[in-house]
Structure 1
Amino acid sequence: MTVHFPFQNSYSALPDSFFARVAPTPVAAPRLIKLNRPLAVQLGLDPDVLETPEGAEILAGKTVPAGADPIAMAYAGHQFGQFVPQLGDGRAVLLGEVIDKDGIRRDIQLKGSGPTPFSRRGDGRAALGPVLREYIVSEAMFALGIPTTRSLAAVVTGEHVIRETALPGAVLTRVASSHIRVGTFQFFAVRRDTDAIRRLADHVIARHYPEVLGAERPYHALLGGVVARQADLVARWLLVGFIHGVMNTDNSSISGETIDYGPCAFMDAYNPSQVFSSIDEMGRYAYANQPRIALWNLTRLAECLLPLFSDDQEKAVAEAQDILGAFSDTFSDAYQAGLRKKIGLFTERDADDALIQDLLDAMAKNQADFTLTFRKLGDAAGDPAADDARAQFMDPAAFDEWARRWHERTALEPQTAAERQAAMHAVNPMFIPRNHRVEAVIQAAVNDDDYTPFEEFVKVLAKPFEGQPGYAAYADPPLPEQRVLQTFCGT
């Protein structure tokens, strides 16, 4: 059987300055450890063929499939606020693009496939742990309904990579609506290549924002579209307690997807200042800072687009500022609407924002688990005698005082208790990729070549809003000795 990818490549048809042509570096002994069969079918691929040794060789980069046009994309970026004029895909190769069953163009990229001209002395490889982490978290985000890159496959290479120690090497096959970033625009802006910026903007509009093609000012509309998607995306992150950990402009997707799961994590106890990333020493990308940083990144994108707005610099800046000004309201509207749904409100009243903030303040003060507090609140909506939400608080009286006001507020709406509970359980997950579980799965794979915990975890996370009684332990927060205090990038 032959592995067939119906490639229809567009990015590699852009000028050579947009990328470097480079093939993946062959590996010794690729072995498929996980194929996302439903995603393969969605992409028009045959999962049975991908699971053959020939398929594993392609997914590891040992063999380049027919029709591929492998490239490493060029981009720049602000990393923790410091600008680097050339970054690019240093350990990833874009094999090509396919049109999925919904008619959407998708990139298929190998991550950890060897050095490229952008590797900056790196080996271009990936260790097994970060590959499993990205597979787990990206697929969990998809199940949670959050725009994200996807994971098609994970393959071990039969080789080791050297980090602090020798670790098993692996390759992740990543799928995205594209890998174009804010940093892609910055790459050309720093070189004052306005023609390339225009070419890139036109490509992005055609691929991601076709609704603005006929707009009177399409580049203004493009910026507005990216602002709206990023504002909504970050609101969704906050609503599930997600911390990206490395919101550099080169990790900020133009399409509005979550991309680059490095030192990412989900909160256990609610803490607006929570940081997990080992490289975020100043807390720049802390949980509550993420909306502010998203706007900062979007401002960098606006700076790149100014030459397309007007030859009058002052006018262009004013127009960009006006578009960026929509971020705050768009984010706030999405975030507050999401919070109302999380506490079971179907209508909006003036005092709702204060009611929600009082709950968050009490959760922070009492180290209440973010995920379980909201999930168990849904139980209390269906049965006022249920006290599992109360049990999340060190001082249960703090919850009791708030719950009294909440019950008074919900009594003003006509929905039944069962309707409210169902609505709350539909937006408040029971299962998230808790850090201690992710680490346990990685350790079993790296130390014992045991992927049974990984398979089971991925299965549970695919249905985050369902009760799954047989897997109830996966909902438990970590014991004190299980807490993961830092997460790592993996490069």
Structure 2
Amino acid sequence: MIFDNTYARLPSRFFQQISPVVVEKPSLIRINTPLAKELELPLPDNQIQLAELFAGNMLLDGMDPIAQAYAGHQFGHFVPKLGDGRAVLLGEILTSKDARFDIQLKGSGPTTFSRGGDGRSPLGPVIREYIVSEAMHALGIPTTRALAMVLTGEKVHRETELPGAILTRIARSFVRVGTFEFFAARQDVDGLKQLTDFVIQRLYPEALDTEIPAATLLALICDSQARLLAKWMSVGFIHGVMNTDNTALSGETIDYGPCAFMDHYDPAQVFSSIDHQGRYAYNQQPLIAQWNLGCLGGCLMPLFHADEDAATDIGETVLATFTPTFAHHYRTAMCAKIGLSKESDDGFAHVKRLLELMHQDHADFTETFRRLSGAVTETSSFAALFSTHPEIEHWLSDWHVLLGREPRSKESIIQSMRATNPAFIPRNHQVEKAIQAAETHGDFSKTHTLITLLDAPFSDQPKYAEYLLPPTPSEQVKQTFCGT
């Protein structure tokens, strides 16, 4: 394993060279040992040095810390200068298999992009991102990964005084749509070209020798975003702030601020306390992803063709691929959730009927689909979830007709459904309980339990049965908040 930082070799306007701000008394909360082994990371062998490393007080040979510059559309409004206001990219880890990953500290102190902020993170958002990002990985959804979290030994001041913490996270790349917007807003075509070349070489080398590499790059990013959004929707995940600066070109889920998994199914569900208009509601996410990609396409236009009309045609043709690509992957994922091996009009119509019944009866998204596999052979316990809507019996009857056309045994169908529909998700109320215990009492046992059980989301794990349950009315979390 070696450290590198190819981004730091780009021109200085791409970043600020800066080291993490030393913290007073760091202590390790958790390290993701399996991920550290996968990265071949040469770690210190004692807790004190590990805490120093993941707090940013100590750097390993080859680390070259920077804060990346980017802009972004936030709730539709363009902000020309954002950047890493509380994060530092330490460098890139290059493994013996030639895999390359960015390693970043989040909550590591102010940078030139902090806009007056302290650059620190309270403990709660660090715990939330560690739990949810690792759960997303276990669910098979592309995501940044959590490598470690530490307490800083210092307090941060928001509405109240809170324990400070730092998250170490890993990504294939932290370049965002907003990174391109930063240079486009300054009409820096040379910067756009250099950034395009960097992203192609780093993430999409198959675009290199094509007729219009920038257009091929946009097409590949559209495909990766379509696949990602289909996976989000299939597990009831709501990102909460799909700003362009939170849209990673790697196709990974990034920035777990006011994110949440739905409990009862509601297509218009919003959790973020600052999303007053429902811009980032569950059912709006594919449309917003396409809007964000349109912003990226606009940035890349100078690289498509010298003629503006021709460049526009190229961009619009590429962007038009997003909707059918997303629809295909979403339909396939949702049909698989009801035990169908292929997507079809009949199958997807049946999925939509089920979702309508779930919405009418406030049925829990995760529990409904998990328990559906049992209805392959016995329907009463599943039907009980819809006690106020007898239409479910008709749905089950028609569903069994569809299953009868499957070229698989009932046992095979049940196995595939159980491998598709998770038993466990990071339920909002359980995450909040873990955060409260840690913030109030310094008790991380609930945090560790959640991380452990969510590493196997498709297994029954009887000893964690309480974590299967939807929240009671008094436990429901109706709003989530940004970590800033």
TM class, shorter-length: over 0.9
Matched residue SS, 2:103: strand
Aligned length: 484
Structure 2 counterparts to residues 311-350 of structure 1, below 5 A: 311-350=306-345
* Partner deviation per Cα, 1:348-371 (whole Å, 9 max, x = no partner): 444222111111111111111000
**Alpha-carbon RMSD:** 1.1
Which of the numbers 460, 467, 488 marks the counterpart of 2:481?
488
Asked if 1:446 corresponds to 2:442, the answer is no
Matched residue SS, 1:422: helix
Which AA in structure 1 matches 2:5?
Answer: N
Which of the numbers 3, 28, 35 marks the counterpart of 1:7?
3
Q: Percent identity?
A: 53
Asked if 1:247 corresponds to 2:222, the answer is no
Per the alignment, do residues 247 and 348 of structure 1 end up closer, same or farther by CA in structure 2, a change over 3 Å counting? closer
**Greater CA drift, 211-220 or 159-168:** 211-220
**Greater CA drift, 77-86 or 64-73:** 64-73
Structure 2 counterparts to residues 50-199 of structure 1, below 5 A: 51-100=46-95, 102-199=97-194
Per the alignment, do residues 481 and 72 of structure 1 end up closer, same or farther by CA in structure 2, a change over 3 Å counting? same
Which of the numbers 394, 398, 421 marks the counterpart of 1:405?
398
Which of the numbers 368, 387, 390 marks the counterpart of 2:363?
368
Q: What does residue 41 of structure 1 align with?
A: 37
Whether the aligned pair in 1 keeps the contact of 2:2 and 2:95 (CA below 8 Å) is: no
**Greater CA drift, 314-323 or 390-399:** 390-399
Per the alignment, do residues 107 and 348 of structure 1 end up closer, same or farther by CA in structure 2, a change over 3 Å counting? closer
Q: Deviation at 1:429?
A: 0.1
* Partner deviation per Cα, 1:252-306 (whole Å, 9 max, x = no partner): 0011000000000000000000000001111000000000000000000000000
Structure 2 counterparts to residues 422-461 of structure 1, below 5 A: 422-461=415-454
Whether the aligned pair in 2 keeps the contact of 1:50 and 1:56 (CA below 8 Å) is: no
Q: Deviation at 1:88?
A: 0.3
In structure 2, C-alpha distance between the alignment counterparts of 1:438 and 1:51, rounded to whole Å = 29
The unaligned stretches of length 5 or more in structure 2 are: none
Q: What does residue 225 of structure 1 align with?
A: 220
Which AA in structure 2 matches 1:466?
Answer: S
Whether the aligned pair in 1 keeps the contact of 2:124 and 2:435 (CA below 8 Å) is: yes
* Partner deviation per Cα, 1:31-61 (whole Å, 9 max, x = no partner): 00000000001111145x2653112111001
Q: Deviation at 1:212?
A: 1.4
In structure 2, C-alpha distance between the alignment counterparts of 1:349 and 1:297, rounded to whole Å = 29
In structure 2, C-alpha distance between the alignment counterparts of 1:299 and 1:128, rounded to whole Å = 35
Which AA in structure 2 matches 1:421?
Answer: I
Per the alignment, do residues 354 and 483 of structure 1 end up closer, same or farther by CA in structure 2, a change over 3 Å counting? same
**So what's the TM-score if we normalise by structure 2?**
0.98
**So what's the TM-score if we normalise by structure 1?**
0.97
Which AA in structure 1 matches 2:39?
Answer: L
Matched residue SS, 2:356: helix
Which AA in structure 2 matches 1:262?
Answer: G
Q: Deviation at 1:65?
A: 2.4
Q: Deviation at 1:471?
A: 0.8
In structure 2, C-alpha distance between the alignment counterparts of 1:274 and 1:415, rounded to whole Å = 36
Q: What does residue 413 of structure 2 align with?
A: 420
Q: What does residue 30 of structure 1 align with?
A: 26
Whether the aligned pair in 2 keeps the contact of 1:42 and 1:101 (CA below 8 Å) is: no
Whether the aligned pair in 2 keeps the contact of 1:372 and 1:389 (CA below 8 Å) is: no
Per the alignment, do residues 375 and 102 of structure 1 end up closer, same or farther by CA in structure 2, a change over 3 Å counting? farther
Structure 2 counterparts to residues 204-353 of structure 1, below 5 A: 204-353=199-348
Matched residue SS, 1:482: coil
* Partner deviation per Cα, 1:209-232 (whole Å, 9 max, x = no partner): 011111121111000000000011
Per the alignment, do residues 205 and 285 of structure 1 end up closer, same or farther by CA in structure 2, a change over 3 Å counting? same
